[in-house]
């Protein structure tokens, strides 16, 4: 029996050098029904959570010189609850949604190891929007089961950029959780803040209604119609809230920087902080532009990011939502940052004395 190699995988799915767009060309690419069948298999390992901890972010970079940075990405296919009693077969980077927050400095060289476990059902890869090279590295990282590929690239332009899977039927892989942020800090670094948070929005298309108990399988026809069952932040319905995985915590008077990525694959987010504004906002994650100020709602398209700062003058729950509000009320798209501290009635008084 011939040995499966990265080369034979590339040939088999039409991702050789003639591919015009990573993951989207080649007559021999697998049919969507084949990918859907593989995705809906029940042999994935079970995980208690896929929601990324929004505070799990590498510390700001203080060095003045570039260096080599080692990064490992491991696609992990797993079954987990999207809400209580409802399971779904996710595809993730390193077992979380969004994938690990990668932090480098402009001029750094990234040494990427891309490990596809033998127990997975499908080949995977990664396309970095921060890479100056064909396919963002997608063709170079196309990895068969049980193999590891390597990619080296220099971070040549600063900003916050999405990375995502880019195999054939890439929309299915992204919708199942395969996206994240790579931050390339400018040489001078970023302004100091008290907290940083990391959120990623995506749509999940299943064969059942929201909240219907049991295993939800991926539904290609629903995705074609762009009619998601769930729209979520960090992979699960209301994941980053007090009633689920916990809210972000700050003190009144603190400042926070929020990194937000829309994986999609289809819907643009109208990113909005209820009861607050974004004091400064860098659209498209472009950190070398002058920030916009006092922004109430910002559209963040699939395949893009926003970086924003927030202040917390009074205590309370500050909700981060998609202002397409049916996605919040019906489909699960909300995160919360809790501010604790003394009331300041001169700014906000919920019970004024008449």
- What value does the mean pLDDT take over residues 54-76? 97
181 and 205 part of one domain: no
User: CATH no. for residue 91?
Assistant: 2.60.40.420
CA distance 253 to 7: 55
Q: Report percent pLDDT > 70 for the chain.
A: 88
Q: Is residue 352 part of a domain?
A: no
pLDDT, residue 5, reads 45
Sequence-separated (6 or more) residues with CB below 8 Å from residue 81 = 49, 87, 88, 236
Residue 354's pLDDT is what?
72
Residue 15 pLDDT greater than 70, yes or no = no
- Among residues 185, 219, 234, the one where a domain terminates is 185
Show which of 153, 185, 217 is a domain's final residue. 185
The answer to whether residues 15 and 162 belong to one domain is yes
Judge if 173 and 226 occupy the same domain: no
- Is 1 a domain residue? no
Same domain as 223, residue 172: no
d(CA 234, CA 56): 12
Paired tokens of 209 = 């209604």
Residue 176 CA to residue 218 CA, distance in Å, equals 8
Q: In this structure, are 137 and 30 located in the same domain?
A: yes
Say yes or no: 177 and 276 in one domain: no
Domain that holds residue 69: 6-185
| 297 close to 270: Cβ distance less than 8 angstroms | yes
> Could you give the number of structural domains in the chain?
2
pLDDT above 80 (res 71): yes
Rg of the chain over Cα atoms, rounded to whole angstroms, equals 20
123 shares its domain with 175: yes
DSSP states of 22-68: TTS--TTSPPHHHHHHHHT-S-SEE-S--BPPTT--PPPP--SS--E
User: Could you read off the pLDDT of 134-166 as tens digits, one per residue?
Assistant: 999 999 999 999 999 999 999 999 999 999 999
């Amino acid at each position: 029996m011939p040995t499966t190699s990265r080369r034979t995988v590339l040939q088999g799915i039409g991702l050789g050098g003639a591919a015009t767009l990573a993951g989207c060309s080649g007559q021999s690419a697998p049919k969507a029904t084949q990918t859907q069948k593989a995705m809906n298999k029940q042999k994935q390992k079970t995980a208690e959570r896929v929601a990324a901890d929004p505070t799990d972010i590498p510390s700001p970079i203080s060095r003045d010189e570039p260096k080599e940075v080692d990064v490992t990405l491991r696609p992990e296919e797993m079954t987990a609850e999207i809400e209580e009693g409802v399971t779904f077969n996710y595809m993730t980077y390193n077992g979380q949604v969004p994938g690990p927050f990668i932090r480098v400095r402009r001029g750094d060289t990234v040494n990427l190891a891309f490990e596809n476990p033998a127990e997975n059902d499908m080949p995977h890869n990664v396309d970095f929007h921060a890479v100056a090279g064909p396919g963002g590295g997608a063709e170079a990282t196309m990895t068969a089961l049980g193999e590891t590929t390597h990619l080296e690239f220099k971070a040549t332009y600063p900003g916050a950029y999405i990375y995502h899977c880019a195999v054939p039927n890439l929309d299915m892989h992204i919708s199942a959780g395969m996206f994240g942020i790579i931050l390339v800090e400018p040489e001078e670094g970023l302004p100091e803040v008290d907290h940083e948070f990391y959120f990623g929005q995506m749509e999940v298309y299943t064969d059942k209604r929201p909240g219907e108990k049991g295993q939800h399988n991926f539904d290609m026809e629903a995705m074609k119609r762009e009619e998601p069952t769930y729209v979520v932040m960090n992979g699960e319905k209301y994941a980053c809230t007090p009633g689920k995985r916990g809210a972000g915590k700050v003190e009144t008077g603190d400042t926070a920087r929020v990194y937000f990525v829309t994986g999609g694959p289809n819907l643009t987010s109208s990113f909005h902080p209820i009861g607050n504004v974004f004091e400064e906002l860098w659209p498209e994650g472009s950190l070398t532009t002058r920030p916009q100020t006092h922004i109430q709602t910002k559209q963040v398209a699939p395949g893009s990011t926003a970086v924003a700062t927030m202040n917390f003058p009074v205590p309370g729950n500050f909700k981060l939502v998609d202002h397409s509000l049916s996605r919040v009320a019906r489909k699960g798209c909300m995160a919360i940052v809790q501010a604790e501290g003394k009331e300041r009635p001169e700014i906000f008084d919920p019970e004024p004395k008449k």
